[in-house]
């Protein structure tokens, strides 16, 4: 790639800056960490690897990067693309082969959404592999829009207020997942991916499914953003500014024992005593 234009340079700097801020805010990467970057072949994970490689060069700490791709044995998957790309970068990498494609196709009826099961199987395999190679952090390519979409999906369909945290410890305590692109928006990532001409590998398992609930939510947010620019960013900021006393979760706030504070200062001054 040749010299970047002014706008392209700003795009690259913005992604690097926002990633650095997220890493610092949540203490995602520490000195001596071995960061396993989960590379799917999509625009998000390519951008994640690209930005982390830059961060590795300029950060005041030292940490190791190893790229890992999971070959789920989808028909027609171009097995040579990722190894060739990673070799060209000189990045240490592993290809984990696990036929989750057959499992998903066997268990999920035709026409039903496969993403949930596919994701669980992939996550379990990657958790185990991270443990095997001694990775202290697992980096995923989820961005700000993914986080906001997940928030609404959980609220609309699961009745819970939760999203994708920028940093997460697995239930068994064996893995720490980080999302360094948490402050970056999808539009910038798409533009950067196009600029860098990453060798994108489409997902043949779920990429062609129609009427996915996530796509419905994504379309909703796009329309909101079109009508009111900045709304998605505002929603994301709300996830960082939670007020349990203003919600209704009795496990987060002690509503049961909420009473008048007898020691509170009087609201009105007794004028007769002035």
Please, are residues 55 and 23 in contact by the beta-carbon 8 Å criterion? Answer: yes
CA dihedral 22, 43, 51, 79 (to 10 degrees): 130
Cα–Cα dist 23/146, whole Å: 17
Q: What is the end-to-end Cα distance of the chain in Å, rounded?
A: 77
Q: Does the annotation flag 206 for ligand binding?
A: yes
For the purposes of burial, counting CB atoms within 10 Å of the CB of 214, is it exposed (0-12), middle (13-18) or buried (19 or more)? Answer: middle
Q: Does the annotation flag 115 for ligand binding?
A: yes
Contacts of 74 (CB under 8 A, 6+ apart): 101, 203, 204, 205
Q: Does the annotation flag 203 for ligand binding?
A: no
Packing angle of the helix pair 231-239, 213-227 (nearest 10 deg): 120
Output the known binding site for [4Fe-4S] cluster: 115, 118, 206
Output the known binding site: 115, 118, 206
């Amino acid at each position: 790639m040749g010299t970047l234009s002014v706008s392209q340079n700003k795009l690259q700097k913005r992604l690097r800056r926002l990633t650095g801020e997220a890493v610092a805010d949540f203490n995602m990467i520490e000195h001596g960490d071995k960061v396993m970057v989960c590379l799917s072949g999509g625009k998000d994970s390519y951008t994640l690897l690209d930005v982390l490689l830059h961060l590795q060069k300029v950060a005041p700490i030292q940490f190791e990067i190893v790229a890992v791709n999971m070959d789920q044995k989808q028909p027609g998957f171009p097995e040579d693309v990722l190894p060739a790309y990673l070799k060209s970068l000189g990045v240490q990498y592993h290809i984990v082969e696990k036929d989750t494609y057959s499992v998903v196709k066997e268990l999920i009826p035709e026409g039903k959404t496969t993403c949930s099961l596919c994701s669980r199987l992939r996550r379990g395999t990657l958790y185990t592999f991270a443990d095997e190679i001694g990775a202290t952090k697992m980096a995923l390519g989820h961005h700000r829009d993914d986080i906001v979409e997940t928030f609404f999906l959980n609220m609309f369909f699961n009745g819970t207020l939760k999203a994708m945290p920028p940093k997460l410890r697995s239930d068994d305590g064996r893995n720490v997942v980080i999302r360094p692109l948490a402050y970056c928006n999808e539009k910038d990532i798409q533009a950067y991916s196009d600029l860098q001409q990453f060798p994108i590998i489409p997902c043949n398992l779920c990429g062609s499914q129609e009427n996915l609930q996530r796509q419905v939510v994504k379309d909703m947010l796009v329309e909101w953003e079109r009508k009111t620019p900045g709304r998605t960013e505002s929603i994301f900021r709300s996830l960082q500014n939670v007020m349990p006393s203003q919600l209704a979760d009795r496990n987060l706030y002690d509503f049961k024992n909420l009473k008048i504070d007898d020691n509170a200062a009087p609201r009105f001054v007794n004028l007769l005593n002035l």
